[in-house]
């Protein structure tokens, strides 16, 4: 590509950066792209990095479509403008800011703090990297009106991100999300951003918040006596170069565990994530070093957190004494079962308790809850919706826990986002409780399947890039919506939920009823026998995702292996029947 082939609109946007009030290093980078890399210029300027309902996320670099001091600055100025408008009656507006181990996270956090301070907001800025859930806790603990965390979660090293929270400690939900987005869109020029002023408005925070967070976290423990007996149970933990490196071991120690083995190669925070391709505990490659250490020390459980420590992956031994990785549905099942059972044992169930899960998460959680007269809420994908349910039920019902299939869990309500720090501590407690009962976590999972039904899930993501890809994804959704399948692999479809049209249809009777959730381009097909398929275009990637779940009955544990193989085959047959290729 030559510069002459570049869309004039892109050239015009780049020239704004060359001629405007931008730093010289940035201008030099833009000039270099114009002179020698027009294809990269297109990628950096063909659009504005969108401030969505979850904030910003993108590749770091120069340009309107990249994460840099100016795109972060515009987001923060837009947030400041909304705060001043929405909270005009407040004598002091307060914000908390945290950041993860990614390259430039501390820089973007400092820029955000300085802009808010320049706009008259009192800012509590962490002195060094901290987990995302601690930011959520801090917003509530310090009675802040908003919070920001600089993180791109489990994305590759090239990415950074910017998430915004409201005064309940949850990520922005309506109407605040849309209102902030509108203010960000009004930032027409770099000159609209107040980058400096009022440094006295910035207060540095650190260990005092850590202590308060850990003190509260310890109160979640339901079996301290069991941990005393199993304190030397071997645990392997890896922070995968992220923010969990200190607080997760401290949380495990505070719970009473004395044999925590940390993966040394991944202990040090490092935004380059040198030992992995992607710092994602959902991927086996990121867990290889932890699996190796677990074999060496004969660990009972493996725990791994992503860079901002809001997701956790776990590994356990199967019945053949081999280490395997559990998926997010399985970990959520173990945690939910344990929590509800212990609440019952301790006489804490009054009929006013609830759990919450996303609509793509296993129905097994709902079955476990309902068997104990615990209400279960289904919410759209995104933990902010679980936080919203907790807020809406405050003072009326008690939240036990919640989770999503993408490795995010929350116990208790003192944090309002998925929390891998508390989840690590609680999952270790579940392992100790299970061991104290004379069984492994894997055996405990099989027992749950025997009692409630065996659920098995799989996820298929299909990438469709570019404009044509987006059109293809839309056509797929339109096709499923206008002509839903009546049967899949010979199994009748009994019910269809359309979250965009907000209606549920019984295909046997034709009857319909409304869905009381926000509009979202998601379809679900419920099959006879308990199987479920969810179709959802990704909101952050050029992908369409298919979530498959099948259900079987396990009358005897000795039949588990055969049933497992049969259900895996059933899943593959369902996937083939959907003709995704």
Greater pLDDT, 468 or 118: 118
Packed helices 420-436 and 328-345: angle between N→C axes, nearest 10 degrees:
70
The single residue of 153, 160, 221, 531 carrying the catalytic annotation is: 153
Cα 233 from Cα 11, distance rounded (Å) = 61
pLDDT tens per residue across span 139-161: 999 999 999 999 998 888 999 99
CA distance 242 to 479: 42
DSSP label at residue 49: P
Banded model confidence at residue 523, pLDDT cuts 50, 70, 90: very high
Statement: residue 54 has pLDDT above 80: no
pLDDT digits (tens, 9 = 90+) for 215-258: 999 999 999 999 999 999 999 999 999 999 999 999 999 999 99
Whether the bond between 421 and the residue before it is cis, its omega within 30 degrees of 0, is no
The domains of the chain are located at 8-39, 47-209, 232-452, 454-577
**Does this model's pTM top 0.85?**
yes
The hierarchical CATH code for the domain 454-577 is 3.30.310
CA distance linking residue 251 with residue 248, whole number of Å = 5
307-358 tens-digit pLDDT: 999 999 999 999 999 999 999 999 999 999 999 999 999 999 999 999 999 9
Find out if CATH 3.40.50.1100 is the number for domain 232-452.
no
Residue 300 has pLDDT above 80, yes or no: yes
Q: How many other C-beta atoms are found inside a 10 Å radius of the C-beta of residue 233?
A: 20
Residues 206-222 pLDDT 10s: 999 999 999 999 999 99
Residue 242's Cβ-count burial label (10 Å; 0-12, 13-18, 19+) is buried
Give the Cα separation of 170 and 187 in Å (integer). 25
Residues in a beta bridge with 97: 125, 148
Topology match between the domains 232-452 and 454-577:
no
Query: If you classify domain 47-209 with CATH, what class do you get?
Result: alpha beta
- Of 208-217, 288-297, 452-461, the one with minimum mean pLDDT is 452-461
Active site residue 153: yes
pLDDT of residue 52: 75
What percent of the chain shows pLDDT beyond 70? 99
Question: Which residues are CB-neighbours of 148 under 8 A, at least 6 positions away?
Answer: 76, 79, 95, 96, 97, 98, 109, 112, 135, 162, 163, 164, 165
SS3 410: strand
Q: Examine the pLDDT at 464 and tell me if it is beyond 80.
A: yes
Q: pLDDT tens-digit profile of 92-104?
A: 999 999 999 999 9
Q: How much is the pLDDT for 134?
A: 98
| Predicted local distance difference test score (pLDDT) of residue 499 | 96
**Interatomic CA distance for residues 378 and 359, integer angstroms:** 5
Tokens 């670099």 belong to residue: 61
3-state secondary structure 512-552: EEECCCCCCCCEEEEECCCCEEEEEECCCCCEEEEEEEEEE
Euclidean distance between CA atoms 481 and 477, whole angstroms: 6
Kindly report the backbone phi and psi dihedral angles of residue 407, in degrees, each rounded to the nearest multiple of 5, phi listed first: 70, 25
pLDDT of residue 334: 98
Is residue 540 very low, low, confident or very high in pLDDT (cuts 50, 70, 90)? Answer: low
In this predicted structure, the answer to whether residue 270 has a pLDDT above a threshold of 80 is yes
């Amino acid at each position: 590509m030559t510069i002459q082939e570049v869309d004039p609109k892109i050239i015009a946007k780049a020239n704004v950066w060359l001629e405007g009030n931008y730093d010289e290093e940035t201008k030099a980078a833009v000039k270099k792209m114009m002179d020698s890399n027009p294809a990269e210029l297109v990628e950096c300027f063909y659009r504005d990095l969108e401030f969505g309902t979850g904030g910003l996320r993108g590749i770091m670099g120069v340009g309107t479509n990249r994460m840099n001091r100016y795109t972060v600055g515009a987001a923060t100025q837009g947030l400041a403008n909304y705060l001043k408008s929405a909270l005009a009656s407040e004598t002091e507006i307060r914000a908390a800011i945290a950041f993860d181990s990614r390259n430039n996270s501390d820089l973007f956090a400092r820029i955000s703090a300085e802009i808010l301070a320049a706009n008259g907001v009192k800012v509590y800025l962490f002195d060094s990297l901290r987990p995302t859930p601690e930011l959520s806790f801090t917003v509530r603990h310090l009675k802040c009106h908003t919070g920001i965390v600089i993180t791109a979660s489990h994305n590759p090293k090239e990415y950074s991100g910017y998430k915004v929270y409201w005064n309940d400690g949850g990520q922005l939900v309506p109407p605040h999300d849309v209102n902030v987005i509108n203010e960000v869109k009004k930032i027409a020029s770099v000159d609209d951003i107040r980058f400096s002023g009022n440094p006295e408005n910035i207060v540095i925070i650190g260990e005092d918040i850590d202590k308060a967070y850990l003190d509260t976290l310890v109160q979640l423990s339901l079996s301290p006596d069991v941990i005393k007996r199993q304190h030397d149970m071997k645990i392997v933990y890896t922070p995968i170069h992220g923010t969990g490196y200190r607080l997760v071991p401290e949380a495990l120690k505070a719970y009473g565990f004395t044999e925590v083995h940390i993966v040394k190669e991944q202990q040090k925070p490092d935004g380059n994530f040198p030992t992995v391709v992607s710092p994602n505990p959902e991927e086996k490659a990121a867990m290889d070093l932890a699996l190796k250490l677990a074999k060496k020390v004969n660990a009972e459980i493996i725990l791994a957190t992503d860079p901002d420590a809001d997701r956790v992956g776990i590994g356990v031994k199967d019945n053949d004494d081999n280490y395997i990785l559990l998926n997010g549905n399985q970990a959520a099942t173990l945690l939910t079962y344990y929590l509800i059972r212990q609440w019952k044992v301790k006489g804490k169930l009054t009929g006013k308790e609830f759990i919450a899960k996303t609509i793509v998460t296993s129905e097994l959680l709902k079955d476990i809850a309902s068997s104990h007269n615990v209400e279960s809420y289904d919410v759209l994908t995104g933990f902010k919706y679980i936080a919203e349910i907790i807020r809406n039920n405050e003072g009326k019902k008690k939240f036990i826990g919640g989770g999503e299939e993408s490795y995010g869990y929350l116990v208790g309500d003192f944090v309002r986002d998925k929390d891998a720090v508390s989840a690590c501590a609680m999952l270790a407690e579940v392992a100790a409780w299970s061991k104290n009962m004379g069984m492994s976590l894997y055996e405990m999972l099989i027992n749950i399947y025997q009692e409630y039904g065996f659920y098995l899930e799989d996820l298929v993501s299909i990438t469709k890039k570019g404009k044509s890809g987006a059109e293809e994804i839309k056509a797929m959704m339109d096709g499923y919506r206008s002509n839903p399948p009546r049967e899949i692999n010979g199994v009748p479809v009994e019910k269809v939920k359309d979250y965009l049209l907000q209606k549920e249809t019984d295909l046997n009777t034709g009857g319909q009823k409304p869905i009381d959730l926000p509009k979202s381009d998601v379809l679900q097909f419920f099959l006879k026998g308990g199987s479920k398929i969810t179709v959802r275009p990704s909101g952050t990637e050029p992908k369409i995702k298919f979530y498959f779940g099948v259900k079987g009955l396990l009358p005897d544990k000795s039949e588990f292996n055969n049933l497992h193989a049969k259900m895996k085959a059933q899943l593959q047959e369902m996937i083939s029947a959907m003709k995704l290729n």
